[in-house]
Every structure is written in structure tokens, then in C-alpha cells.
Structure 1
């Protein structure tokens, strides 16, 4: 398919000049699209009847030719359908207050099946058994095949059309080869160093996973791999055609892969193992859970050193909050699902000796610019100057990718709001849900509709693993997911040894495996890079190295009771990165999913930790998926455990990395509850938190309070549920949930300082108006309560320090903040999520502060902190600490609260909060208003059923 035609506000003369400059390099970028007649598949009944909508900004088209990229850099032009969903997504900020069902398509796509004849923009037939029809409004590919192979081939071909460069990036990220592929920018170094150690594989490991699905999953496994092969074949067909026709993504030229003049160079063919590699990145980002036990152990030791073992453990447990009785729940009908809780008497725990822990080194043999940001720009041809250095900050700027945290603070995203039919205006369930996966251009996911034998769905798929729709809608049902994060990763403590019987050291590369001194397996990846037009990073190289044991990959070394040990990370889904393909295949199969119960069974075949939500015309339902290991009795999942037979997962087979897993009934699930909300919160009673932070205040409270009120009132509609979501998306969690208690403490006595009293009044006015971070008018780029927002952003970190640090002491406070950051406001200067990322308020000390303040006020607290910290429990002293820090915060100028970055000047509050779609390719996008909202979102209400 040739490049799509873009539009420009610039003169035709300027555009022609740019095209002429590129053509002077010999880049013949226009060719005829492949088009042939294809057999028509049987029609599919759409039971949503126009009541399914969706949105995925910035736009469907994620490929850009060299001409497109240079036009964007020079004139700000955009290829067709690369940004046409951005304004609708952004428009909901101002438009949600007066939203009606009839106005939904002002802010969402019509997600009906098929394309009306007068809305067809193009039809492509890469084979005679499949067509790819794109609509005029958003350019979404509607893939219809008469054979299974042809259908999946078409899906792969469409993926090539829309995400070829992105798929190439992610197969290299998964393999730990990003710098060698796209350049040595410091962020690229960081990204491959982040992901590869989580899922380090040899090529044989990747192929073994392909074969495992084919040979261990029955007929569905065989079909899945046949579908995957057809999908890969489709990608490669587009790869070949675009290369020959010179309409391939221009990033290949700018990174030195293909010569613009001679067309010499290659886009490497895709293979089935690439899908495994991409799946490891996607699963690691969004579907992991647990881990972080070494850091948890360090904070426990710090507490014990301060307070003694018994009292220190009590204090630590009160911050760990494994099963906080005040946490907001998805299943709120009282049903309990015990899992991964604290044992009555722990066995096999292996805490390190104080001061002995060292992280396992990953990088070796650095040369040149490795570990630095040294630049050595190449001399670029004049026509390419506008694109020079576009990847100098990395293909994905540091901190932008969800999943960038570690342990308990690993990014979890997405939200869901569902209301059962007895509380809706129509009597049918209503759902507003979607994955919150960050903001990129192009997006990590792509919209598509797939119709063929055994497949009938529309929605999103992650680029490169789009054989099936991963979240979307079927003929008479819709589904979505949120990251669940339950504990599917454990830390084992392997005792080190030397094969000759000599005394081991912390650096030993052998370990005791059931009494035998076994060699660790060394996995390596050597990368090198040189400057290109896109990335000016100077020449350099390094070698990444990890050690793999039968208990997982080594992450740290230490001593336990004086003996040298290695701590390893063992994840149930390791070496099973793509096994979840079976569950997704079922979700796309209209003959399999016929009701809520069959949906839950399909979701149970997904191995990653997700919360799955479902709605049809009769039922709203929920199921939590994941390969939850059955642990040995008495093992504490929150801390490192000895690598001995007695403490292993039950049924553990290290050769296959398989074990016994908890059955369907023990996973949180529900059907027909009055409503469901999820924002990466606690699923149900008894289902223990895998990390810190699932406490009395959570961002899911923003949804729960709004939806419960709607349910109480009754008559819920698609529009009213969308309004509730959009209102929560603009709300500062601290302002809504914590500020009332802070003001109660402050106003326990009159505020006599006039200036300080005025500040208190400012904050209270903001709270009373909804504590929102929202423009005063569309396009003003100034918040209505801008100064109150500034004060809160400056105050929160100061008040948390003043509230907790004096009582905990520097060491314990530092250890606990390493487990859970204190703040995650939208502002770039706070939190682990990075700048301009949208997602906010997932991680923070909201729950700790809430409990502590209520304890100071003498209010009842379920699951209290072991001690009261603010003012050492004295209300007057606590008040003084809050007022002192508030006075300091009010005096901090906006330029300090909101420092300048590459996109904003110092002091620009709205800009600092704003969402920026990080350019993964050559096409940039404008900033939009902050929203704490799913990236891809559906609004659905089915009036009918098969």
C-alpha cells in the first residue's frame, strides 16, 4: 500500500519543495497499492445496534514515509489518519459535562461492525481470500476473510501498513538489541537494560516457546500457531511490497538501515519467535505482578533495626498492608478469595545480613559512549536536516514506557466502570472501560476489526501480536482488562558454592541445587552502535550479562547468616510468554463466548495477571486471570525464601518452568454484581496485595464513589457513566480524598496568620469545587484554580516528609519510600511515571496519610498504622507541622514547582501536566489537556443477544 495522502495548511509550493528535495535523493516513494478482487465473507449480525463506541488517539495510521516525516518536521503536516482521533479524545475534557448518548460520537468512534458503502475510503486485497476495508472517518482496517489463513494474513498485512516500524522496534527491545538497531541514545540503553533482564532468552528459548504452544495446547495450540504464522506471512508480504515500492517507513532511512538513493538495505523478515519477543515486552509491561521482595526485606530489616524485631515487624506490616480492610474492592459483595496472605508462622524466609545486599551488575565491557550521552552528529544530506537528531533522546524517552518501575511500583494501568442492568435506564448493562497504556505516536496498540472463520471481533491489539483482538467487542459482548498485579513472581535465595569444594564468595557462579553444586547459565547480549541521522550518539558498545538458575535469574547477591547467596527472580510466565494466546483466541471465537460464564472460562486461559471485565445485554461480569502458583505451606510470599525443595512452588518443574496453579474458583470473579470498578486496586477480600499501596485511599475511590452514587440514583446511561469516568479523570486524588482531613487538623484551632488563612481558604474553595485540574475555558491553558493546584503540588511532598520522617527516622523512611514513592501527581516533577504521561495517583502515601491523620483526630480506623506519626500523635504538634509546611509551599514560585523541560517553560502548570504522545517514529503530535484516563476506551451497551 502506498503512503496515505496527508493534508497541510501550508502552501502547495512549500510542500512541493520538500518533496522535490527528497526526490533529489532518489527516493521514489509512490507506488500503486496492491488491489485485487476477493471473495465476500458471510455477513455478521451486529447486536450492539449502534451503541458501541471506542477511541484510540492520536490516530490509526502509524507508518510514515520519508516524505511524511520530513513534511512533519518542516511544516507540521501529518499523514492521513495519524492524528484524527486526538481532538475527539481531548475534547471530552470540556465536553463531558453536557454529554448525552447522542453526543458520544463527538468524542468516540462508532465501533459498529463493518463499513457503510458511503464511508469506504479504500479496499485492499493482499490475497483473494481477504479484504482490508478502511473507513473514511478514522482509517481503521476492517479485515474480512473467507478462509482462516487469509483472515490472519490480512491482519498481519494491516499491521504492516499501520505499525511496521513500531513492531520492528519492539522485537528488538524484547531481544535486548535496541541500541544496535535504533541507536545508542542513553534512553535506548536504559530501555533495553530495563526489559531484557526481565525476560532474557536465547533464540532456542524463543523457539521452544513456539513449540510448547503447538505441542502442549491441543488443537487450539496448533490453530494458534497456524494463525500466528499466517499473521507473520502477512507482515512479511507488506514488508516486501513496501520495500520494493519505496513506501516503507522513513525511519529505516534515518537510522541507516536503507539508503534513500539506491534503496540498498533490508528490513529483516519477521519470524514466529519475534512474536514471543514482543509478547515478553507487552506481558512484562502490563501483565506482571509481585517481585520486589529484596527491597521489601531491606525495609523490614530497617524497621527491625529501629524498633527491635517484634515491634519493627509490626510497624512494617502496618505499612505493607497486605489485606487492608479499608481498601476499595472490585468484588464488594463480601466474597473472599484468599491468596498470597501472611502465614501464621513463616518458614523458609531468608533475610539478608544487614549491609550485605548488592545488585547484580548487568553491564560489562563498556566502550565509547556507553553509559554516557556523548554525541557525534553525522553530516546529514540537506534534505534530511530537519529530521536530524530526532532520536537523540531515544526512541522512547526515559520513563515514558509503562512498566518502567520495579517490584511493587511496576506500572499498572487501565480502568473500568460497569453497571448491571437493574440499575440502568435500558435494563441492559453499561460499560465504560479500557487499558491505560501510556501515550505514544504511534500508539502501542492498533484498532482493527477481524471477521473470518472462527473469529468475529473489533478492538485493539498490541502491534506485532495482533492475530486476535485483545480488548474490544464481539457480536453481542464486549470485554476489557486492567492490570491486576497479583503476586506471580517470587524471590528465591540460592546458596552459592564452588565445584571444587572451596569456600564460595558472593561472586561465585555455582549454586546448590537440591544438594548438587550446579553451574549458573550465563546469558549475554553484546550491542554496538554508531551515529546516524536520527541518533547522534557517538560510537559505543557494551555487553549485557545475566546469570540464570533453576530458580530464575539472579538479581542480587548477599549473605544470609554469613553464607554467600544469590537472590533470584522466578516468574510463573517466564518461558511461557505467549501461552496466553489460547485465551485470546477463545475471546475472539463467537462459538466459544456465548455468555458471562464462558467469557470467564476464556479469560482463565490467560496466564498474565489481569482483571477482565465483560458486558453483554444481560450480564456484567469480572474475572482475575494469572498463573498463580501454589506455594508451599508457611512460605511468606512478601519476602525472599530459601531455594530448597520444601519451600518451592508445589509441583515445580524447573526444566519447563511449570508448577501447580490455583484453580479457577480461587481467582476473584463475579457475575451480576450491582456495579464494578477497577483502577488497579485490590480485587477482593483476602486477595493479598503484591506490594505496597493498596490502602484506605486509592485512585479507584474516585470511580467507586461516583459510580455507587449513580447506581443509588438509578437510570444509568452510557453518557452518565462516561461523565463519571471523565470527572474522575480530571480530579486530584489528594484534593478530593486527603484535603478534607488535612483541613480538619488545621482548623482544629483558628488560623490566626491572615496570609496563611487565605491559603487555607484557597485550598478549601478548590476542594469544594471538585479539586479538579481543569482549564478555566477550552484552550486557555490555565487551570481555574491554578494557584491552589500549585500549592498542593508544592505542599504534598513537604507535608509527607514532615508527617512521617521525624517518627520513622531517615533510614526507615528512605527504605519505605524505596518501596512506595510518596507522590505521583501529573506534574513532571513528581512520581515514578515520568513527565506528560497522563496516568497519575496510582502510587503514593495517600493511604498512610489518611490513616495517620484520622488517628491524630481520634477517628475510628480499621487496620491502623502501628504508630501515629504526625506530631508524634499530638494534634497540636501535627497541626503545627502541617501549617509550617503549607506556609513553605505557598511561597514556592511556580517556576520551581514546575521546572522547564523540552516541551514547557518553567512555571507553565498546564503544560507541565499536559499529555504528550511520545514519538516512537518520525511524526510528532501536539500536547493535549491532562486526563487520568484509558488510552483506548470503549463505551458499550448491548440491547440484544444471539
Structure 2
């Protein structure tokens, strides 16, 4: 009987399938480290993609075209070489699913609705465990519930029960946004409703007792992705207290200068993806719309322990786009993907979808109603990195008459709203106040007087509009770099989007970016009395965009998108040193590339230690010029660091035998860095904002090493475009600084030549532990990585 069912399914597939769309890809490969499976316990083969992914890591930059065929799987349309095909009947006429050997579904529908319905069915089938845990927690992201990191509830398996009010708020906001989007919004809402039918049909087929999915669940699924990857700013309260502390410790003038140094708002030495200048934000510490909170005065509302565990944004995704003039084939090369961590079940899953007039393939995610998040069409591909541009502001509300629930806005006292959002098991009730600006996140003092602090997010209530651009990309409406830019202009979230077809490469930095009055410094809280509100949103023409740059490449690793682009208040890492430097240097080694060499540049950077790459030459130059404080041990430490840098600065463990191949170098830098920081950057509290971990655990985004390169570089003769206003190491005296650095190096414990770094401690495990497989440390795309080039296109 099973053979009869299978034969019937194949016969139906052949009868129902439309003519296959033309595929213009010359090469199309991809990999998702977590794979397609999502059940527990993991079935046989669940780790297959993880092992392929891991097999690329030890190749460093020596990647060949054959490696692309064995370390990645096909991203072509249809099952292709990844057979055998396994039909999977669905209870809907007009749609078929065939699984390949990686369990990837190839969905063929007689209409787009058929495909959208099937994507809902398959989401519940392949990610039912994830949905059960994340469905309600995501709603806290849609609400902007204060001091709650919604995704943290998901990965830490916290149970949250919302009130009925929560769904009403989310659905009301989402429907309003879709109505205002006109015909495009109505099309997305239709997709959402069809998608829900598929999810709920699968729940019924499973005999599940879970509540049927509703629109609010889909809207919230988009919101939580925005919370993790698509917003920047909102940390002005904490950072203004730091400014208060600097002024108190060093005096107002010097404290202001130090604040300017640390914020790196418009550092002209920061690497940028584009060469064109786009300006956003103006520094104005003396602006009348600013408020500086008293140091240590902010007290958050709500249960403790539910905020994000990390104070430093750990955005992590990259793309390397090479134009046709630097390509061996004359056509652009596209190596790109999101870094979203390693979980099982994965946060993304793959789909290959086809219907009359449409064909797309790539990673999708919960909430993507019939759409591909990152993937490819017939003749173009796209990917994302988090931009972190400033879409969230903090407002200081003046309280009325000693009340904590009445505030002054536009000349009159108003009563705060109240939201009862439900309970988190073990933490209690999530209930909070709101003002015209948004949720009240806490209370603080300004010159000793109590004020309320509220949070305003430009994308609030707009989360579902994120689907507009992906609908255009998925359905083939995008046909050029210009239509690509127009499609992504609707994104409420802040992302850098990379694009390539057979002729062009392009990047667009999207987001609903508020225009602030010049009387406000975007790094500080804003007076909430009504005079300093946003002046609309940045026009599409003023957001960073560039196609086919003179360099022949567009490379982004969450670095500054363009010259002139101001850093968000929660991002103090737009300094002179950023990890994109390793990708740029990898591409610069060759004038002309193929897909293998571009993949090699990405793969090499994924195991390099940025501290070794960027800081070792500065440290060596400083210490060689001032040898007075050297000891034999410290001198040997320096020699080993220089040798590691010359050998490539990699943390690889190729065998793997649990020990990094590079010898002492990685272990020395790991122990040396915190001592170097203490010696060279003696500013109390700064690491609260940039993190204490400068190494692999931060993805080389934390620890403040960019400050060290700029400050120590000045002492060794580097001329910066944006030099620091203050001197830090040794008070600006090179000899004193060198003596402190020598002492820090000498304080690294152990025999220099015997030191080794434990590679097993850095092996990657899939959270929360359902998949026992671990893989070597690597710092590269995990949600999906595409390796694609097109030889032609629709004309």
C-alpha cells in the first residue's frame, strides 16, 4: 500500500507541476549548519549538514572548486544531484512535496496559495518544537515589553503565558500597518491567512491540543527576528549615566571629550562597505533637547533577569560580493549568509518553491508566509547582515506633582497607560506603564529629581511589513538592482541587504530611520515634553546604497555601511579596527577571483584572531621602540605573537586533537588581552559598554580592541583621520605606555613556549543540547550560506 501511495504522489506531482522556470545559475550551492530536521530525538542524518559545514573549516583559504561541490549542497531548483527524491503526500489538491536526501522540501503548487499553504504545513512539521517554545515568547518582542529579551526566553526554555490583551494589541497594530500599506499590505495579509491554514491543518493532523495559530502569532514571529537582528539604539539611559560619571571623575570638558572618543559616532577611520557618503545623525552634546541622567540613578521596571544577558550587540553576518570585472567568468560572485548562532532545531529551514510564474529557493523562518528570507530567484540572489542603525530612542518624561504615573506632554499632564502582558514562570507578572512614546522602562533622576524613562521604536507595530520586500524577492518582482532597492525600502527593520545578478552587485541599508531635530544628540536621552519629537523618517534616497563600486567588491561584516553614517548609541564599535578588515584583506590578495577563492577569503577570516591581525603590529612597533621594560620572558612572548601573526593568526585545530595548531600564540593573546586593557585603557566602567571578551566568544566584536589600536597607534606614529581627543595609555607618553605593556605581557603566566589554547573549549555546540554533534570553532554564516554566480538572466 505504501508503494501505491508513493506512486500516486509521484504521478500527481508530474501532472500538477508547472513547467520548470529557467534557472540562470552557473553555480548554486548552499549549506545550513543546523540542517532541515527539527524533531527530538534527532533522526539519523540530522547532523549531515553540520559535518559538511565543519569539513570546510580546516581548509582556511585553500578552498577549491571541488570543495564547493562536496562541502556545500545543491541550491538549484528541483532535487537535482541531491536525490534520491522522496515524495510526501499532502492533504491539499494542487500541491506536492518531494524531499531530497537532506530532507529539504521541494514544493510545487498550481498556485502561489498552494505553496504558501504548504510552507505553513511544513513549518509546523519541521519546526514544531521550536514553534511550541517560541510562539508566545515572541509576543513580548512585538509589545516591546520593557527589560525583557524575548528571544532569551526561547533559548533558555522559559515558559510565558500571555493575557488575551496581548494578542489584541499585536493584531490591531499589525492590521493597521498592513492597511496603510495598501494593495501590497492586503496581499501580505492574504498570504498570512493562507499560511495559517497550513499550520493549523498540520496541527489538526497531528492531533495536537495546542491553540490554533492566529494572525498575532505570525506578526509576533516577525517582531522577534527584528528584536534579535533588526534594531539599533535604545541604550541612551545607561550611556548618559556613563557620561555623568566621566564628568564627575574628570571634569565636564574632559569627560565630554572622552565620551566623544568612546562613542565612535563618526570615526572617519572606520572601514565602510560603500565608498559613497551618506550622513545620518548629528552630534550635539549641548543640544537643548538632551537629558543626562544622574550617574547610577536608573532603576529598571519589571522582573529581574529577563533582559538580554549581553550589553554588547553581537550582530554576526557577512557577505562578499565581487563584481564581474574582478570575476574570472565576467559575472558577479556571491558568497553570503546570516550568522544566527547554532541551535537545533535551527531558527531557519530551507524551502525550494515553484508555482506557475514563480520559482525561489533558500532559507525561510517562522512568520515568513510563503516567502524566502535569504535565498535566490531565477537570476538573482540576496542576503542580509544586521545594520544596527539607530531606530530606538529613549525619552525622559517629566512627572507631575510627585506622581509616578502622570507625566507632562505638550503642556498638560497625562496619565500613563497600563499593559498586563501575563506571566513568566519563575519570574512573575509582566505588567508595565506606557506613555505617548512607548513602554516605561524605569525611573531615574536628573539633578536629583525623579523622572520616568520610556522607549520609542520606529518599527513598533510595523513588524509584519518586513514581509513586503521579501514577497517581491520571492515572487520574482525584483528584476534588477533598481527594483531590488525599491523592494527593500519598505523594511521597518535595519538591515544591510546584499544583492547580485548576472551583471550587477549592490548593497542597500534598509530601515525605518527617524529624522531627529538638530537640537537633540542621538547618543543621549530626549526630553519627552513634546518639543523634540521625530521629524518623519529618512527618505529612500538618503539611505546607503551603492552598486558596482570602483573597488569591484562590496563586503560587509556588520561594519559601518558608508562614510558619514553615524553609529547608533548602543554601538560603540564603529572604530578603526573591525573584523571586516580580514575579509577585505583576503579579497585583496587576488585581483581576479572565482567562487572558490571568494569562499576561501570568507573561510580564512572565520578562524583568524582579529587581535593578532590588528594589534600585534602596533604592539611590536611600540615595544621595539621602547625596550627598557623588556624581560626575557616578555621578549619571548612578543616573538611568539609576531610569529603567529606572520603565519596567518588562525585558531584552527585541523586534526582535531583538541589543541590549536598555531602553538603558543592563541593562548598568549587570550591571557594577555585583559592585562593589556587594564594597563593601556584605565577608564573605569568603559568595558560595561564594550564587553570584557575580545575574543571568539564575542565574534571579535567586543572588548574594545579598536580603542587600543587607535590610542597605541598614535604613539607609534600612525596618523588618524579622526584621532582621539584624549590620551590614555601612559597618559600619552610612549615610554610610560610601553613599560606598562611590557609588564602586562610579562604577567602572562606559564612558560611561553609551552602555552597552548584548548580548542575543545571553543568547539561549537547546538543549543539547547538536543543535537549532540559539535563542530570546530568558526566565525561564519550559520543560518544559511550561499555560494552563487549567474551566467545569464531574464531579459
Pairwise same-fold verdict (TM > 0.5): yes
Q: 1:351 to 1:756 in 2, by over 3 A?
A: closer
- Which residue of structure 2 aligns with residue 392 of structure 1? none
CA contact (8 A) 1:526 1:541 kept: no
Following TM superposition, by how much is the alpha carbon of 1:361 offset from its aligned partner in structure 2, in angstroms? 2.4
- Which residue of structure 2 aligns with residue 886 of structure 1? 745
Which aligned pairs between 1:449-468 and structure 2 lie closer than 5 A? 449-453=352-356, 455-468=358-371
CA contact (8 A) 1:573 1:608 kept: yes
- Which residue of structure 2 aligns with residue 678 of structure 1? 556
- Which residue of structure 2 aligns with residue 773 of structure 1? 651
Please point out which of 302, 307, 310 is paired with 1:405. 310
| In structure 2, distance between residues paired with 1:52 and 1:476 | 11
CA contact (8 A) 1:53 1:940 kept: yes
The secondary structure found in structure 1 opposite 2:223 is helix
The secondary structure found in structure 2 opposite 1:693 is coil
- Which residue of structure 1 aligns with residue 147 of structure 2? none
Post-superposition CA distance 1:544-580 (Å, at most 9, x none): 2221111111123122244421111110011112111
Of 223-232 and 35-44, deviating more is 35-44
| In structure 1, distance between residues paired with 2:346 and 2:406 | 43
Following TM superposition, by how much is the alpha carbon of 1:849 offset from its aligned partner in structure 2, in angstroms? 0.2
The secondary structure found in structure 2 opposite 1:433 is strand
- Which residue of structure 2 aligns with residue 687 of structure 1? 565
| In structure 2, distance between residues paired with 1:280 and 1:49 | 33
The reply to whether residue 567 of structure 1 matches residue 438 of structure 2 is no
CA contact (8 A) 1:698 1:846 kept: no
The reply to whether residue 126 of structure 1 matches residue 107 of structure 2 is no
- Which residue of structure 2 aligns with residue 183 of structure 1? none
The reply to whether residue 734 of structure 1 matches residue 611 of structure 2 is yes
The reply to whether residue 61 of structure 1 matches residue 37 of structure 2 is yes
- Which residue of structure 2 aligns with residue 100 of structure 1? 64
CA contact (8 A) 2:160 2:423 kept: no
- Which residue of structure 1 aligns with residue 111 of structure 2? 147
Which aligned pairs between 1:468-617 and structure 2 lie closer than 5 A? 468-497=371-400, 503-504=401-402, 508-527=404-423, 529=425, 540=426, 542-590=428-476, 592-617=477-502
Following TM superposition, by how much is the alpha carbon of 1:79 offset from its aligned partner in structure 2, in angstroms? 0.7
Of 186-195 and 153-162, deviating more is 186-195
| In structure 1, distance between residues paired with 2:225 and 2:16 | 34
Post-superposition CA distance 1:33-73 (Å, at most 9, x none): 99693552322334344501110013211123xxxx2xxxx
The reply to whether residue 845 of structure 1 matches residue 721 of structure 2 is no
TM-score, scaled to structure 2? 0.92
The secondary structure found in structure 2 opposite 1:126 is coil
The reply to whether residue 276 of structure 1 matches residue 152 of structure 2 is no
CA contact (8 A) 1:632 1:646 kept: no
| In structure 1, distance between residues paired with 2:160 and 2:470 | 24
Following TM superposition, by how much is the alpha carbon of 1:415 offset from its aligned partner in structure 2, in angstroms? 0.5
Please point out which of 917, 928, 936 is paired with 2:775. 928
| In structure 2, distance between residues paired with 1:135 and 1:362 | 48
The reply to whether residue 918 of structure 1 matches residue 794 of structure 2 is no
The reply to whether residue 111 of structure 1 matches residue 54 of structure 2 is no
- Which residue of structure 2 aligns with residue 804 of structure 1? 681
Q: 1:353 to 1:299 in 2, by over 3 A?
A: closer
Which aligned pairs between 1:327-342 and structure 2 lie closer than 5 A? 327-332=270-275, 335-342=276-283
- Which residue of structure 1 aligns with residue 331 of structure 2? 428
- Which residue of structure 2 aligns with residue 388 of structure 1? none
- Which residue of structure 2 aligns with residue 945 of structure 1? 793
The reply to whether residue 47 of structure 1 matches residue 47 of structure 2 is no
| In structure 2, distance between residues paired with 1:174 and 1:893 | 49
| In structure 1, distance between residues paired with 2:177 and 2:752 | 58
| In structure 2, distance between residues paired with 1:290 and 1:511 | 24
Which aligned pairs between 1:80-91 and structure 2 lie closer than 5 A? 80-91=44-55
| In structure 1, distance between residues paired with 2:701 and 2:485 | 27
The secondary structure found in structure 2 opposite 1:689 is coil
| In structure 2, distance between residues paired with 1:748 and 1:343 | 39
The reply to whether residue 291 of structure 1 matches residue 234 of structure 2 is yes
The secondary structure found in structure 2 opposite 1:774 is coil
Q: 1:873 to 1:217 in 2, by over 3 A?
A: same
Following TM superposition, by how much is the alpha carbon of 1:213 offset from its aligned partner in structure 2, in angstroms? 4.2
- Which residue of structure 2 aligns with residue 785 of structure 1? 662
- Which residue of structure 2 aligns with residue 708 of structure 1? 588
Q: 1:127 to 1:724 in 2, by over 3 A?
A: same
Q: 1:689 to 1:214 in 2, by over 3 A?
A: closer
Following TM superposition, by how much is the alpha carbon of 1:299 offset from its aligned partner in structure 2, in angstroms? 1.6
The CA RMSD over aligned residues, in Å, is 2.9
CA contact (8 A) 1:176 1:192 kept: no
| In structure 2, distance between residues paired with 1:942 and 1:909 | 42
Following TM superposition, by how much is the alpha carbon of 1:190 offset from its aligned partner in structure 2, in angstroms? 9.5
Post-superposition CA distance 1:726-778 (Å, at most 9, x none): 00101000001111111112222447533332222211211110111011x42
Q: 1:127 to 1:873 in 2, by over 3 A?
A: same
Q: 1:782 to 1:231 in 2, by over 3 A?
A: same
| In structure 2, distance between residues paired with 1:411 and 1:162 | 27
Following TM superposition, by how much is the alpha carbon of 1:168 offset from its aligned partner in structure 2, in angstroms? 2.0
Post-superposition CA distance 1:886-922 (Å, at most 9, x none): 1222339999x9xxxxxxxxx97111111111137xx
The secondary structure found in structure 1 opposite 2:720 is coil
Post-superposition CA distance 1:395-417 (Å, at most 9, x none): xxx99xxx7534xx233120011
| In structure 2, distance between residues paired with 1:174 and 1:433 | 27
CA contact (8 A) 2:174 2:461 kept: no
- Which residue of structure 2 aligns with residue 359 of structure 1? 299
Following TM superposition, by how much is the alpha carbon of 1:588 offset from its aligned partner in structure 2, in angstroms? 1.0
- Which residue of structure 1 aligns with residue 519 of structure 2? 634
| In structure 1, distance between residues paired with 2:671 and 2:327 | 42
Post-superposition CA distance 1:838-863 (Å, at most 9, x none): xx101231211001111222332221
Gaps of 5+ in 1: 3-30, 70-77, 178-185, 244-264, 365-370, 372-397, 498-502, 530-539, 651-659, 828-832, 834-839, 898-906
Of 120-129 and 141-150, deviating more is 120-129
CA contact (8 A) 2:765 2:773 kept: yes
Q: 1:567 to 1:193 in 2, by over 3 A?
A: farther
Post-superposition CA distance 1:188-209 (Å, at most 9, x none): 5996999999x99722111113
| In structure 1, distance between residues paired with 2:626 and 2:256 | 36
Q: 1:605 to 1:849 in 2, by over 3 A?
A: same
| In structure 2, distance between residues paired with 1:675 and 1:549 | 46
| In structure 2, distance between residues paired with 1:49 and 1:554 | 51
| In structure 2, distance between residues paired with 1:285 and 1:108 | 27
Please point out which of 704, 707, 726 is paired with 1:867. 726
Following TM superposition, by how much is the alpha carbon of 1:238 offset from its aligned partner in structure 2, in angstroms? 1.5
Q: 1:849 to 1:195 in 2, by over 3 A?
A: farther
Following TM superposition, by how much is the alpha carbon of 1:456 offset from its aligned partner in structure 2, in angstroms? 2.3
- Which residue of structure 1 aligns with residue 693 of structure 2? 823
| In structure 1, distance between residues paired with 2:736 and 2:395 | 44
Following TM superposition, by how much is the alpha carbon of 1:598 offset from its aligned partner in structure 2, in angstroms? 0.4
Q: 1:196 to 1:631 in 2, by over 3 A?
A: farther
Following TM superposition, by how much is the alpha carbon of 1:662 offset from its aligned partner in structure 2, in angstroms? 0.8
The secondary structure found in structure 2 opposite 1:933 is coil
CA contact (8 A) 1:340 1:688 kept: yes
Tell me how many residue pairs correspond in the alignment.
Answer: 774
CA contact (8 A) 2:664 2:757 kept: no
